[in-house]
């Protein structure tokens, strides 16, 4: 007599607790893979938008004209464009007031850019914590299913007079499937989180450099007028 140890049969024959653990891991794995692809497109668009705007910004275009083109795209501005729009809008607003000192104008524009920068960082960071949670907890969730399955196997083993490997193997095998599924959910999530955390740091550094460079330009304009 042979025992069917296929993955499908092991899952069907597992206890309800182990099956619930497996279901939870499958759902979290699907969610994390979906998020990995969504965030991948998000960061790709953000990098492309930053490169495109930097080319326009440093092409010698007049800041007022560039601001008009950017602000005309209401609801579609993000990333470096949003930082530029916020800073230049505040600069123009304060510069029109004759009683405001040039340094106060510059500081106001910098504050506006920092607010926009923090908003962009918050959007880029959105849902990354989910990947970190899946990567750190999935192996332990799978391990819980494994421990539970092995515990049930030994309880069943204690109720028979003659224990054999064949009687224990299915229970242990189905328990180990939970560990494998936990690792399957965790590994892509950890890789995705590390990848996008690195992309986030590089984008934030790029935005920070732009804020400093644009502040220098505004400072020259504020003192020249």
Total residues found in the chain within this entry: 225
Alpha carbon separation from 32 to 45, 124, 215 (Å, rounded) = 20, 16, 39
Cα dihedral 38/43/49/51 (nearest 10): -150
Whole-prediction pTM: 0.81
Please tell me the predicted confidence (pLDDT) of residue 2: 46
Q: Is 56 exposed, middle or buried (0-12, 13-18, 19+ CB in 10 A)?
A: middle
Q: Which residues of 19-47 are buried (b: 16+ CB within 10 A; e: fewer)?
A: bebbebbeebbebbeebbeebeebbeebe
Tens-digit pLDDT profile for residues 170-197: 667 777 888 888 999 999 999 999 999 9
CB 75 within 8 A of CB 67: no
Please tell me the predicted confidence (pLDDT) of residue 163: 55
Indicate the pLDDT class of residue 222, thresholds 50, 70 and 90. confident
Q: With 50 as the cut, is the pLDDT of residue 219 above it?
A: yes
Please tell me the predicted confidence (pLDDT) of residue 41: 94
Tens-digit pLDDT profile for residues 143-166: 888 888 777 776 666 665 565 555
**Residue of 215 and 225 predicted with greater confidence:** 215
Please tell me the predicted confidence (pLDDT) of residue 99: 75
Tens-digit pLDDT profile for residues 12-65: 666 788 788 888 999 999 999 999 999 999 999 999 999 999 998 888 778 888
- 62 φ, ψ (degrees, to nearest 5): -70, 135
**Residue of 203 and 22 predicted with greater confidence:** 203
Helix (H, G, I), strand (E, B), or coil: what is residue 99? Answer: coil
**Residue of 203 and 224 predicted with greater confidence:** 203
Please tell me the predicted confidence (pLDDT) of residue 188: 95
Helix (H, G, I), strand (E, B), or coil: what is residue 2? Answer: coil
């Amino acid at each position: 007599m042979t025992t069917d140890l296929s993955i499908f049969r092991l899952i069907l024959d597992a206890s309800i607790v182990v099956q619930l653990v497996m279901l939870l891991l499958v759902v979290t794995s699907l969610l994390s893979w979906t998020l990995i692809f969504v965030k991948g497109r998000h960061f790709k668009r953000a990098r492309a938008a930053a490169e495109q705007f930097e080319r326009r910004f440093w092409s010698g275009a007049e800041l007022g004209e560039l601001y008009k083109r950017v602000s005309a795209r209401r609801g579609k501005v993000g990333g470096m464009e949003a930082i530029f729009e916020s800073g230049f809008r505040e600069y123009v607003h304060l510069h029109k007031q004759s009683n405001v000192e040039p340094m106060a104008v510059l500081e106001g524009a910098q504050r506006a850019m920092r607010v926009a920068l923090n908003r962009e960082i918050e959007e880029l960071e959105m849902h990354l914590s989910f990947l970190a949670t899946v990567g750190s907890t999935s192996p332990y969730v799978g391990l819980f299913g494994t421990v539970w399955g092995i515990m049930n196997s030994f309880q069943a083993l204690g109720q028979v007079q003659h224990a054999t490997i064949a009687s224990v193997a299915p229970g242990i095998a189905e328990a180990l499937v939970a560990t494998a599924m936990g690792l399957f959910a965790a590994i892509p999530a950890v890789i995705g989180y590390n990848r996008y955390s690195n992309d986030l740091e590089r984008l934030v550094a790029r935005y920070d450099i732009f804020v400093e460079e644009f502040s220098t330009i505004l400072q020259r304009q504020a003192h020249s007028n």
